[in-house]
Amino acid sequence: MSPRIVKGPRISFEEITKGLGEVFFEAAGKYADNICQIEAETGKTETFRSVKERSTRVAIRLLEIGIKPGDVVACCLKNSIDSAIPVVASLYINAKVASLDVLQSSRDCAHCIQLVQPKLIFVDEDAETLIENSLVEAGFDNVGIIIVGTSSKHKMLSEMLTPCATESGFKPVAVKDCHDTAFLSFSSGTTDRSKAICITHFGLLNKIALQIRAFKKQVVSMNCASLFWFLPVAMFTQAMISGGCRVLCPEFDVETTLKYIEKYKVTFFTMPPAHTYAMVNSKNLHAYNVDSLDLLLITGSPISPGQLTKMIQLFPNVFVTTGYGATEALGGVTLLDYRSCKGLLTSKIGSVGKCAPNMEIKVVDVETRETLCANKEGEICIKTPYSMNGYYKLDSSSAYDSDGFIKTGDIGYYDEDEFLYIVSRIKEMFKYKSWQVAPTFVEEVLEQHPNVKEAVAFGIPHEIDEFHPAAFVVLKEGAEASMEDLQEFVSGQVSEFQKLRGGIKIIDAIAKTPSGKKLRRENAQMFLKLQRNV
């Protein structure tokens, strides 16, 4: 069989060439009386008319304080009735939107701030101290802070929501080029820390417009993650341009999630594989009516075939599925649709599905970069008209091959029926739940300990969480440190997902190549062997 590029169905439609702010503004007028968002915990609802009005007022205030088209406005917000307003307002004035996460450490947050250099940050009241500390660490002392909630130190969002004399005549700022950046979505590079992925107006609007065609009715969607993650950004965009409703849930809990699905008649819910274990083990699942649910998408990291089967059995009347995606390609690259073929789950066990519409995939030899044929493992590369605009203020040339395909860093293959399978990762990154962990960053923290000579960090496989961060440490000659001391040292400086749950072991020497490069995979295997021998 000859090498080939695997292509999804080609679907033609009238492409959107306006900006997100313009499209959101028009849609809010069209769907004015539709419920746009529901705050799950409190039951508060808001119509598109209200979202448009509040966002317009904030947009006018942003212009008044000097925020210009093209400036970066960051948001560090939990899911709430107010969290969308600064985002929509920023898009109305054609500012770029970057989202931070309240669960980040100040060090990670500072790194993201340095990458995108925002003029202003909207901050959840619970994250006020986090952002203040992050700005100090980043060396930025001229960034404005607006608190969503209450504050005695900073301007509050509520002050920007009072009526404006000019609001009735307000029009969004038109984009000059629909291929300009709208969102900056943080993701991890292949071997290092976060990069800011440039999501374009054209890419996001048309990728979502394509996906909306698959839904037969108005969607009520729910996701427990913040807009720091790309999937919630995509779901937010879907609701805003189609008149759908978002149910805003701040965190995942099985009982609470099921209660919200029943109460608000959610039709589309997404979750990471790590949450499926709690769902499968729930004893009260059948106490809730989830008949409204049409689609349950499990994504963010791979799910085992056995676990996917359990979820399908748990929700027999729901399309429970998974796929493969990349933020650089604006989400879904493949989708596993087993409804079209009886026995697909067993005949294509472990597959992440077939190529999505208007998407191209090729598998190349890691060394020679030659395109491979079916059933040959290599690096997965993807191409789509909706892909990213590169990494913000960074040289992005190495992210693409000579044909314009994005290099994913994932190893896999496609079979003779063009179903894709993910085997491993070239990347040194690994995932704890849905969070990308950069081992080099954890190593940097460990090596700041006064008694540590060097360290190597890696992921240890975990049944539920995918990987747990772990490390080998070499102490300086004559120095002493306990594993508990080192754990405490790291925990005080990293985000929750970067903590060394897999453990720390003190050894005499780290396995390296002759040139001195740390052999991360070999060190991880040695760590597992030592664990088994304990």
Domain of residue 24, CATH code = 3.40.50.12780
CATH code, domain carrying 383: 2.30.38.10
What is the Cα gyration radius of the chain?
Answer: 24
Q: Is residue 69 part of a domain?
A: yes
Residue closest to 67 by CA, chosen among 131, 144, 135: 144
What's the CA dihedral at 413, 349, 409, 396 to 10 degrees?
A: 90
Distances, alpha carbon 213 to alpha carbons 5, 207, 208, 229, 253, in Å: 25, 11, 9, 23, 31
What string of DSSP letters covers 308-344? HHHHHHHSTTSEEEEEEEEGGGTEEEEE--GGGSTTH
**Which of 370, 395, 427 is a domain's end point?**
427
For residue 461, give its domain range. Answer: 430-533
Interatomic CA distance for residues 172 and 59, integer angstroms? 9
Note the pLDDT of residue 90: 99
Residues 6+ apart with CB under 8 A from 108: 193, 194, 494, 495, 498
| pLDDT tens column, 436-448 | 788 888 988 998 9
- 51 and 168 share a domain? yes
Q: Is residue 311 part of a domain?
A: no
Q: DSSP string covering 363-374, please? A: EE-TTT-PBP-T
Q: What is the pLDDT of residue 514?
A: 62
Containing 97, the helix (H) or strand (E) segment is: strand 96-100
Q: Sign of the CA dihedral 261, 266, 267, 270?
A: negative
Q: Which helix (H) or strand (E) holds 443?
A: helix 439-446
CA distance 193 to 112: 9
Domain harbouring 471, CATH code? 3.30.300.30
Question: What is the model's pLDDT at position 189?
Answer: 45
The residues, ordered by sequence, that sit 6+ positions from 433 with a Cβ below 8 Å of its Cβ are 272, 274, 300, 301, 465, 466, 497
Residues 375 and 437 reside in one and the same domain: no
Please indicate, yes or no, if residue 370 is contained in any of the structural domains. yes
User: Are 401 and 521 part of one and the same domain?
Assistant: no
- Reference 56, options 88, 94, 16; nearest CA is 88
Residue 40 lies inside a defined structural domain of this protein: no
| Shared-domain flag, residues 526 and 506 | yes
* Residues 439 and 402 grouped into a single domain: no
How many structural domains are present in the chain? 3
Q: What angle do CA 327, 405, 213 make, to 5 degrees?
A: 55
Residue-wise pLDDT tens digits, 414-443: 999 999 999 877 777 788 988 878 888 898
- Any domain includes 233: no
Q: Write down which residue in 203, 232, 250 finishes a domain.
A: 203
In a domain, 529, yes or no: yes
Helix or strand or coil: residue 121? strand
503: nearest Cα among 487, 481, 519? 487
Tell me the longest C-alpha to C-alpha distance in the chain.
73
User: What's residue 188's pLDDT?
Assistant: 55
459 and 408 housed in the same domain: no
Contacts of 241 (CB under 8 A, 6+ apart): 23, 24, 27, 205, 208, 209, 212
State phi, psi for 88 to the nearest 5 degrees.
-65, -40
Do 136 and 164 share a domain, yes or no?
A: yes
Beta bridge mates, 506: 473
* Spans in the chain with pLDDT lower than 50: 189-191
Return the residue matching tokens 């965190």. 251
Q: Catalogue the E-assigned strands of 189-294.
A: 194-200, 220-223, 245-248, 268-271
Please tell me whether residues 365 and 446 are part of one structural domain: no
Q: Are residues 497 and 470 in the same domain?
A: yes
Q: Name the amino acid, one letter, at 94.
A: N
Same domain? 423 vs 451: no
Say how far apart CA 121 and CA 288 lie, in whole Å: 39
**Does some domain include residue 7?**
no
Residue where one domain finishes, among candidates 375, 395, 427: 427
419/435 same-domain check: no
Strands (E), 415-500: 419-425, 430-432, 435-437, 452-462, 466-475
Residue 197: closest CA among 205, 189, 209: 189
Q: Are residues 449 and 521 in the same domain?
A: yes
Q: Retrieve residue 45's tokens.
A: 């609802």
Residue 463: inside a domain: yes
Q: What own/partner pairs with CB < 8 Å and gap ≥ 24 does 63-67 have?
A: 63/93, 65/120, 65/144, 66/119, 67/93, 67/95, 67/119, 67/120
